[in-house]
Chains A and B, each alone.
Chain A
Amino acid sequence: DAGVIQSPRHEVTEMGQEVTLRCKPISGHDYLFWYRQTMMRGLELLIYFNNNVPIDDSGMPEDRFSAKMPNASFSTLKIQPSEPRDSAVYFCASSQNIGSVYGYTFGSGTRLTVV
């Protein structure tokens, strides 16, 4: 298995632009998680899905952020409009179950810079 695949690896955009981050989870994993990592706040859970349905989006910082999972093999995290404070590394992870006896598998992340 190729693991969790995220694209792009790096994104530089101007303030006010729309940004879309993409994630392909491991086949057969029913849970998909979006995390944000910054120096100040560490690793934050933004939202997670179970069987393509959003279960908990309480970590999404504000309405500028949205996430979708149209099918079992693809998810997007969109920021519109982007702001400099959104600069961070965004990780996608997938798992067979939420408590993860098997462990969450993380992608390599997307490093977002908003200038």
Chain B
Amino acid sequence: AQSVTQLGSHVSVSEGALVLLRCNYSSSVPPYLFWYVQYPNQGLQLLLKYTSAATLVKGINGFEAEFKKSETSFHLTKPSAHMSDAAEYFCAVSFSGNTGKLIFGQGTTLQVKP
């Protein structure tokens, strides 16, 4: 069955530390992969996306993610966390390219401590 899983509903890091948010998917075909961010009291914003081009994708605000087919993963990273990165992050997958709707993970809340 096709699914998307975000490991860890809450992640806490210190300011300046590495941010790593995990996303794994289950699919028999290469998917399109996305990361969205939701700041408090706002809608979701697209951070970055993978659509079968370069496997290392750079997004806004210094975030990047790497598509690893062998691990069926698309983890989101940022070398140095800022206080302003505190938000909820959603991994989303389209299992049928342009013909499949996005399936969202359960979300990971990132807390950044001073």
User: Hey, which bits of chain A sit against chain B, CB under 8 A?
Assistant: 4, 33, 42-43, 45, 48, 56, 91, 93, 97-101, 103-109, 111
Contacts and interface: CB of A to CB of B under 8 A. Distances in A.
A9 B90 CA distance: 22
B104 A97 contact: no
A80 B101 CA distance: 28
Given A43-B104, A43-B107, A48-B101, A101 B32 contact: yes
B61 interface: no
B94 A100 contact: yes
B46 A103 contact: yes
B14 interface: no
A106 B98 contact: no
Interface in B67-98: 90, 94, 96-98
Nearest to B32: A99
A103 B90 CA distance: 13
B25 interface: no
B45 A98 contact: no
Contacts of A91: 43-44
A57 to B, nearest CB: 13
Interface string B94-114: 101111111010110000000
